[in-house]
Amino acid sequence: MDLDFSVIIPTYRRPDALRACLRSLACQDYPGDRFEVLVCDDGGGGLEGLRDSSARCFARCTFLRQLHSGPAAARNLGARNARGRFLAFTDDDCEPSPGWLSALGQALRSQPDGLVGGHTINAIGGNLCAAASQQLIDFLYVAYVDQSMPRFLTSNNFALSSGAFASLGGFDGSFRLPAGEDRDFCSRWRSSGRPLLYMPTAVVHHSHWLTLRGFWSQHFRYGQGAHQLRRRTQETGRPTPRLEPPGFYLRLLSYPFTNVAGNAKDRFAIAILFVVSQTANACGFAREAMAWVQHRKRVPPTQPE
């Protein structure tokens, strides 16, 4: 392969956000002839104007399209068409900092068999729901650590070798919602014995405006994804995600007061939103569990002969 990186961006009906993402990638301090960009349209369309402008910004920028199948399938589409030694994933509502690829490359050169995740920053000031959503991820990065290794990394900011991605089978395309597919990927990655690494200098700015309703819907989907992940691990014999002890939730509630910048009012609001997120997560999990029971009644499992 003649390229170091293939940057893969799944997108669905957010052309303005995607335009900002592409602008940030055009400002990378990484040599422009050493990476390509693959935009994977998940059936949304409306990207014709971006094709021309991107061709002027990048030595290599490819637009791919699929029928609407979800971000996991879109990322796999990009990976199948990638020519880089390494794959770097981000989302259409993210803007990588100028040193993003350089930081990921530094980590992967020292440990090419690793899955490397960076630091994601909420880029929307004054939106407490967006701030709470990112602070929750920050808490989980700290809480979910085994032997100095993170247990999962989010797919809007991670990179790995293309060979390792292929050997793992890519993302599970049956995760059609943007929820759970990265946790499933990291679970399979850890089960294969490969390391996960955190590279805080690989910074991505995330611009996802959320209303309270959108915040609830997002975490409801995460609950649905959590149930699907539990089913996948049971089916494949991997360790099933454990229920967290009460101390985990006490640390969660105290996190905004000890680790979040801002005034006391904002910290209290974020703590309340943490409670909302866990309630929505539980409701989504229960909803998916009930749907699965109904599905099993309609389509019983095949009995061995």
For 55, other C-beta atoms within 10 Å of its C-beta total 12
Quote the pLDDT of residue 56.
66
**Residue 41 pLDDT more than 60?**
yes
The amino acid at residue 8 is I
- 76-112 confidence digits (pLDDT tens): 999 999 999 999 999 999 999 999 999 999 999 999 9
Percent of the chain at pLDDT > 90 equals: 76
**Residue 305 pLDDT more than 70?**
no
Between vectors from CA 249 to CA 247 and to CA 253, what angle results, nearest 5°? 120
239 versus 179: the higher-pLDDT residue is 179
**Residue 171 pLDDT more than 60?**
yes
Angle between helices 15-26 and 48-57 in degrees, nearest 10: 10
Those residues whose C-beta lies under 8 Å from the C-beta of residue 264, and which sit 6 or more positions away, are none
Quote the pLDDT of residue 198.
95
Question: What is the residue-averaged pLDDT of the chain?
Answer: 92
**Residue 204 pLDDT more than 50?**
yes
Give the mean model confidence (pLDDT) for residues 185-197.
Answer: 93
- 49-76 confidence digits (pLDDT tens): 787 777 667 778 999 999 999 999 999 9
CB-based contact 5:101 (threshold 8 Å): yes
Quote the pLDDT of residue 49.
77
Quote the pLDDT of residue 240.
81
Quote the pLDDT of residue 90.
98
Quote the pLDDT of residue 62.
93
- 1-17 confidence digits (pLDDT tens): 589 999 999 999 999 99
Those residues whose C-beta lies under 8 Å from the C-beta of residue 186, and which sit 6 or more positions away, are 115, 151, 152, 153, 196
Give the mean model confidence (pLDDT) for residues 177-205.
Answer: 94
**Residue 138 pLDDT more than 50?**
yes
How far apart, in whole angstroms, are the C-alpha atoms of residue 78 and residue 75?
5
Residue 304 pLDDT level (bands cut at 50, 70, 90): very low
How far apart, in whole angstroms, are the C-alpha atoms of residue 3 and residue 6?
7
Quote the pLDDT of residue 177.
85
Quote the pLDDT of residue 33.
92
**Residue 245 pLDDT more than 60?**
yes
Quote the pLDDT of residue 301.
65
The runs of H, that is alpha helices, within 237-263 are 246-259
Q: What domains can you pick out in the chain, each with its CATH number?
A: 3-298 (3.90.550.10)
- 212-235 confidence digits (pLDDT tens): 999 999 999 999 999 999 998 888
Residue 276 pLDDT level (bands cut at 50, 70, 90): very high
